[in-house]
Amino acid sequence: ANYFSKFSKAPVICKLVGRKVLDGVGQPTLEVEIYCTVKNYEKRICSIVMASHSQIPENALPETIEADEKERNYSVHSAVEWVNESLRTMLRDLESTDQCQADRILGEYFANKVEEKKEIQRREEEEAAKVTPAPASCPPTPIPKQKKGGKPVKKVLVQENLIPPAEPAEPVLCGSLAIGGTSLAIAKAGATISRVPLYLYIALLKHDQESPKEMTLPLPMVTLLNCEKNLSTKLKLVKEVMLIPPVELSLKQGIERIQDIQKEMTRLLESSGKMPGAQADSKKGKAQSSGKKAPPPPLKRISHLGCLTTGYDNLEQLLLLMQTACKNIDLELGTDMYLAINCAAHELMDYDKGKYEILTGTFKSPDEMVAMYMEMINDFPFIIALIDPLRKEDREQWRSICCALGSKCYLIAEDAATHISKLKTDQNINIATCSGVVLKYINQTKVSDLVELTGILDGQRHITILGSPDGESLDESLAVGLGARFLKLGGLSRGERVAKYNRLLAIEEELAANGTLR
């Protein structure tokens, strides 16, 4: 039976099923299910859940958040329709292992949808122009003449804002989740049909079906602290503090070491009253001194990133506490563990002042930010990566900071980079002088786009970081198969994030057993 099965017709896609589900943070998103005809029988092969990703910053207005939620719901509804109607028909009878053809069909379908959207907008603009009357011409404002002997009229000089304005957000077509979801689902189905793990299937796609002799696991960037910018504390410069284990450790050893640091940091934060709610308890001294029983200690607050949420008044306070935690367990930052800091500079800009607000009430110009980062890396050389230290619009300052610090730490663009589709089209990244780019598998991104783009970045000697979107549903196999240098998944809490770390540990064991782990 096994012998004759080799001569049977290759499995082909017979049905796609799209449905609305919830992702790891409870937001609506898309699930795509693949059914194939295998030896004349319809068989469910696999399913994937796309991650939701929002571009709305933490300090957004309530009405902005509400509008984003409505748009997200509409986008998921459209994506479900695309999968269950058009894409199901277009991809029927396609071999599940023909990823290039599947992605070509998906790309053409999406391009047609974009053109349809543009045509609808053009018609609406034409109709609006017909309805709206032409504005009445206003008479010119008379210039007041200066009276004889009168004081000259003072000219008010308006100070020009010298910073480049924020570039508009990349438009996202409602329903685009269907493209990325279907592409990844077909890749997973192809791996299942081929009886190979997804990470190896992706690696074969990248290396023209040649099995790599060695494979390297990406270094994890594990988020230890999430410093929310809307807390009462002053420090706004830091959004995430991440730990990066040294390369000589195995992934398992690195994760264990990070867990030890996390436990010690939790102990220090609780003892110093920095845990959320602890400061409120310390203010109840009067109640305690009057003989009343103190309330029970608050539960640890874990952010959606799977890490502790806390705040600080300055950067030195945070970094010194990190050093103390490591010393307490006989580790040294810069040797036994390294730090990466996500600055999320685009959330710091005060456009009225034309400066970044790094501490509450403390502002710095883009040039002053470069000088501050230089001083920071010189004082704390164990920081080996800065993510989004500046906005993408500050190109001149990006060049300056890369010239000054490029040999000392990685300068990585996340929100400061353009979208994957544009990166692939332009064949170069928006900020040519950065060390690398965080890539996220969202919206209309296809598997072949990531394969092609990582090849371009490798050729330009830029490092690739696969990042997990807000909704967490990134498949860690992508990072392994694509040969990413780093993997940014969040903290060591929350079920879905921990499941990814566990899968990486299993992949490490598989590669070691096969003798292909480098």
pLDDT tens for residues 208-262? 888 888 999 999 999 999 887 666 778 899 999 999 999 999 999 999 999 999 9
The CATH number, out of the four listed (1.10.10.10, 3.40.1160.10, 3.40.50.20, 3.20.20.120), of the domain defined by the range 199-271+300-514: 3.20.20.120
Any idea of the CA torsion for 462, 466, 469, 475, to the nearest 10 degrees? 160
pLDDT for the residue numbered 285: 46
Residue 347 DSSP label: G
The secondary structure of 50-95 as a DSSP string is: PPP-----TT--HHHHHHHHHHHHHHHHHHHHHIIIIIHHHTTT-B
Q: What is the 3-state secondary structure (H, E, C) of 191-245?
A: HHHHCCCHHHHHHHHHCCCCCCCCECCCEEEEEEEEECCCCCCCECCCCEEEEEC
Residues of the chain with CATH 3.20.20.120: 199-271+300-514
Please determine, for residue 429, whether its predicted confidence score (pLDDT) is greater than 70: no
CA 316 to mean position of chain CA atoms: 26
* Segment 318-373, tens digit of pLDDT: 999 999 999 999 999 999 999 999 998 988 998 889 999 999 889 999 999 999 99
- Could you tell me the CATH superfamily of domain 12-117+171-195? Enolase-like, N-terminal domain (3.30.390.10)
Distance of CA 106 to the CA centre of its chain: 23
In this prediction, what percent of the chain has a pLDDT beyond 70? 82
Q: Can you give the pLDDT at residue 518? A: 85
For 249-284, write each residue's pLDDT tens digit. 999 999 999 999 999 999 998 887 655 544 444 444
Higher-pLDDT residue of 295 and 11 is 11
Q: How confident is the model at residue 148 (pLDDT cuts 50, 70, 90)?
A: low
Q: Where in the chain is the domain with CATH 3.30.390.10?
A: 12-117+171-195
3-state secondary structure (DSSP) of residue 19: strand
Whole-prediction pTM: 0.84
> Which strands, in side-by-side order, build the sheet including 12-22?
12-22, 28-38, 41-49
Cβ burial, residue 89 (10 Å; 0-12/13-18/19+): exposed
Give the active site residues: 443
Q: How far is CA 243 from the centre of its chain?
A: 17
Enter the tokens of residue 326: 């490591």
Q: Say which residues have a Cβ less than 8 Å from residue 477's Cβ, sequence separation at least 6.
A: 197, 198, 199, 202, 503, 507
Query: Which residue matches tokens 């036994």?
Result: 336
Residue with more model confidence, 182 or 297: 182
